[in-house]
Amino acid sequence: MRPVYMISGGITKFAKARPDQDFRCMVKAALDYALADLGGRLTVREIDGSVISYFSDHFTRQLKAGAMVQDFVGMCPKPHVRIEGGGATGGLCFQSAYEAVASGRFNVCAAMGFETMSSVETWKGNDFIALASDTKFDYPLGGFYTGYYAMMAVRHMHEFGTTEEQMAKVAVKNYGNAVHNPFAQHRRAVTVEEVIASQMIAYPLRRLTTCVMSDGAAVCLLASEEQARKFCDQPIRIAGIGSGSDTMRMSDRPHGKVPLLPHESPDDYPHLKYPGVHSFRAGRNAASEAYAMAGITDPRAEIQAWELHDAYASAELQQYEDVGLCKYGASGRFADEGRGLLGGPHPVNPSGGLLACGHPVGATGLMQLVFNFWQCQSSIARHFGDAHCQVPNVQRAAAYSHAGTGTYVTISILEKP
């Protein structure tokens, strides 16, 4: 496989609803943003093909919507494929585009994602999302993903003593960061008290520790080394990709041994039964694979910025542990100590994450990578009009894209060459 670079990215402002633009227009806007950022040097003519991601045909009310995007942006008759993997759809799309360039099939590939969740009311959206759980054994019990994640959070609290207040601190951090991110849907700072007083959705997950539904699109442009140098002044290398999976039904998750990351030892977890329903085994698998490929032996020292999949504040805590930012069981303390804050030792979701930016499923994983690309380029100030969210001296930035209680996870690591 040859080296692959990200050369540009674009995002639409995520919003509750975009009745003024359909999904094709939104993707076009994100693509145009990415092309404009290259100063017009790269045009659609030089893009060899695309990978297009969106989660749900139900939300789109249109089958083969990917083909319509390809058509709309003027890329026919070039190749394209649609990628779908629940909440991790965007991350999987990015990795598929990486493979297209790494294999030599394409020199320049567009990874383009979107979701239009405003096409139905929130409760119907919950129903569509719940159809991504086992429809014979899980869905009929109440059809609600927040409920599944809530059961994971309750078990995490039981195993490790994690508290609602620690989850609230994650939310406070992310909403606070997004005040400075013009692409975010929710741009109002909140307090721990406000989070804990917000409406209960599924114990212990509340309105302000649960992400909202959004309309939006995001695009990442990937290229071979030669093409990257031709079109981009500041290309960022894709240093590692990893992914993992887990059983669709949480009921089936095993209770075995913890697979260790390079900086961990078996003494760290003498008694922990893993993953149970408290941890994301797919996230750990994705981290192992991505770190090995990027040559990372201690992610705490070698990755300076993270975008984690905080669809729920509890899931961000769980993910600190999966990726080895702290040991299993230590994520609550990690939050208490403010280790994930901008200015802290391990900034997580400097963009505001899914809680604040929104979660238009097929765009989300690509959005994370656009933010990380800008972090590595040190160009956040130019794109946000505000340098607040820029992490200083980013050498590497990692993005964690995640589906259905951890049934798919991808981790993609960008590195300043």
Partner 1 sequence: MATATRLPEPTHGPWVTNLDPLQFQWSFSVNYNVSYAQDSPFFHALAKRKLLGSECQACNYRYATPRTVCMSCGGATAWFELPTTGRVHSWTVCHFSGEPYLDQCPFTLALIEFDGVDTLFMTRVIGSGEDEMRIGMPVSAKFRRKKTWSVTDVYFVKA
Residues near partner 1 (CB under 8 A) are 19-20, 61, 121, 123-124, 126-130, 136-138, 140-144, 146-148, 150-155, 158, 199-205, 247, 249-255, 277
The total number of residues shown for the chain amounts to: 417
The minimum distance between CB 151 and partner 1, in angstroms, equals 4
Query: Residue 243, CB half-sphere, CA atoms under 13 Å: how many?
Result: 19
In the complex with partner 1, which residue's Cβ is closer, 70 or 119? 119
Residue whose C-alpha is closest to residue 220's, from 80, 371, 111? 111
List the structure tokens of 195. 């989070």
In the complex with partner 1, which residue's Cβ is closer, 138 or 321? 138
The phi-psi region of residue 385 (left if phi > 0; otherwise alpha if psi is between -120 and 50; otherwise beta) is: left
The minimum distance between CB 222 and partner 1, in angstroms, equals 33
Tokens 């649609």 -> residue: 82
- The answer to whether 278 touches 159, Cβ cutoff 8 Å, is yes
In the complex with partner 1, which residue's Cβ is closer, 198 or 379? 198
The minimum distance between CB 149 and partner 1, in angstroms, equals 9
Tokens 């380029």 -> residue: 377
Distance, in Å, from the CA atom of 216 to the CA atom of 201, rounded to the nearest integer, reads: 24
In the complex with partner 1, which residue's Cβ is closer, 107 or 126? 126
The minimum distance between CB 124 and partner 1, in angstroms, equals 5
The minimum distance between CB 54 and partner 1, in angstroms, equals 18
The minimum distance between CB 142 and partner 1, in angstroms, equals 5
In the complex with partner 1, which residue's Cβ is closer, 148 or 291? 148
In sequence order, the 6+-apart residues with CB closer than 8 A to the CB of 61 are 119
Strands (DSSP E) contained in 257-363 are 274-275, 305-307
The minimum distance between CB 13 and partner 1, in angstroms, equals 17
Distance, in Å, from the CA atom of 162 to the CA atom of 408, rounded to the nearest integer, reads: 24
Strands (DSSP E) contained in 288-356 are 305-307
In the complex with partner 1, which residue's Cβ is closer, 136 or 271? 136
**CA 51 from centroid of its chain's CA atoms:** 17
List the structure tokens of 322. 């999966």
In the complex with partner 1, which residue's Cβ is closer, 129 or 223? 129
